[in-house]
Every structure is written in C-alpha cells, then in structure tokens.
Amino acid sequence: MEPLVRVTAPTLDVLAALLAAEGPAWGLRLIKELGRPSGTVYPILERLERQGWITSDWDDDADRPGPRRRLYEFTADGQQAATDLVAARRAAEASASRPATRPSTRPATS
C-alpha cells in the first residue's frame, strides 16, 4: 500500500464513509451519502484503489439483471491507515473548535 500524497477533505470524507459502511460499499451510495459530485468521488475511489487502500469488485446480486454495481472495501492495511487518518482529522477538528484562551489585557492587580 502506498501512502496518500494528498489527503484532501473529500478524500477523508470518502475514507470515513467507507469506514462507516458495513461491508463492501456501493460507489453510488457513497456519492449520495457524502453529497459530493460523482466527478469528485469516482476519482478518489480510483486513486485509493490504485494505491492499495481499497479493493473493488462487482456486486453479485443475481436478482438485478444488466450492468453490475461496483462495490468497494478496505484492504487490511488501508482500513488501519484510514482509521488513523480519520481519527487524526477528528482530533484536529475538536481542537480547532475549542475556544482559544486569549491573553488578557487587564493589568495584574496583586
């Protein structure tokens, strides 16, 4: 597995959505859940697959004739790395949302 050179916000969203999915996730469902354009999500999925973070395969639902859906799931390494990345983002978001302690301009009175 290769490390991600660029970890953009949409990439983190895709990773988080894949982590939240129970089992293989359908690409179109990810697009819907994330509310991001398919032109953003499709390339991210392809990049993650190219770099060995996820794998993909066809849906084997025999009840649905015609073209098959493409499903994605993490590789073992990818899942661990994604978990770390998403956790790091959440930690960063949490620290950013905490109110910063501003230095007081009041003179000390003691």
Partner 1 sequence: MSALSRVLVDTAVAVSPAEHRTVRREQWHADLRDAAEVGLSPTALAFGALTTALFHRRGVRRTSWGHTMTTTPFAAPTAPHTIRTVPLLVTVAVLSVLMAGPWLILQPNSGYESAVDRMIGVGGVWLLLDLVPGAAISAAILLLPGAASRRRRLGAVLVAAAAVGAVVAPFVGPPSGWPVSILPTVAPLLVALAGWLVAIDAPGRAWLLVLLPFGAAAVDAAGVLWPLVPARLVPCLLALPALSVVVAGLLAWTTSPLRRRTRGEDHAPTLVDKTV
CA 100 to chain centroid: 28
Q: How far apart are CA 67 and CA 48, in angstroms?
A: 23
Our finding on whether 27 is near partner 1 (CB under 8 A) is yes
Number of residues that bind partner 1 (CB under 8 A): 34
What six digits make up the tokens of 59? 């849906």
Q: Which of 57, 77, 84, 93 binds partner 1 (CB under 8 A)?
A: 57
Amino acid at 56: S
Residues between 58 and 77 with contacts to partner 1, criterion CB under 8 A: 58-60, 62, 64-70, 73, 75
- CB closer to partner 1 out of 1 and 89: 1
The answer to whether 8 contacts partner 1 (rule: CB under 8 A) is: no
Inter-residue contact 100 to 90 (CB < 8 Å):
no
What are φ and ψ of residue 95, in 5° steps?
-70, -30
User: Binding residues for partner 1, per CB under 8 A?
Assistant: 27-29, 31-32, 37-43, 46-47, 49-50, 52, 54-60, 62, 64-70, 73, 75
